Amino acid sequence: MATSHRVAVIVGSLRKQAFSLRVANALVKLAPPSLQLEVVTLQDISFFNQDLEGTPPADWVAFRDRIKASAAVLFVTPEYNRSVPGVLKNAIDVASRPSGKSSLNGRPIGIIGTSPGAHGGVSAVKHLQQILPGISGPILQQPEMYLGALGDAFDDKGELTKESLRDFLKLYLTAFEAWVGQHAKTAS
């Protein structure tokens, strides 16, 4: 039987109809059997405050545990003001603490930028590539995934209808599957 890896798919937007959430849900449906994708939203994570590290809030502990239970992490995020959304940066701060005990440590990482505009969240992806080294595992560099012009990619129920995007996501998942297989420490 082939090894199966649990993957936390962290959505960088809080919006109920976010393109990032729609892409994450599409990825779950397109994933090969070797990847068990679980969408993780950030609505319930309180603000990081180092003063609370001695007795971290229950929401921090639950979020860290979800990441630790995963063999890999895939970020799917929009770009806000040429960077990552604040809610995503906060979640990364929560996950990476306490210092030296990052929940992301050692886990292979994938990053997908999303946008209804032309640039596909490229600045957010580049900032994640700057933020994550030192607190995560190896980051998949190729293929890069910047999904722009997503306005017509989904129907009114959030289902992926754009065949070219489906094909592109499958291509990415194939590369991510190989990356996880190469770098994941254990099956989850």
Separation CA 76–CA 81 (nearest Å)? 16
Closest among 113, 57, 105, 56 to 88, alpha carbons compared: 113
Question: d(Cα 123, Cα 109) in Å, to the nearest integer?
Answer: 17
188 has pLDDT over 80: no
Q: What is the pLDDT of residue 118?
A: 86
Tokens at 112, concatenated: 């997908």
Domain boundaries, the chain: 5-183
Superfamily of domain 5-183: Flavodoxin domain (3.40.50.360)
- Asked if pLDDT for residue 100 goes beyond 60, the answer is yes
Enter the tokens of residue 11. 């959505």
In this predicted structure, the answer to whether residue 120 has a pLDDT above a threshold of 90 is: no
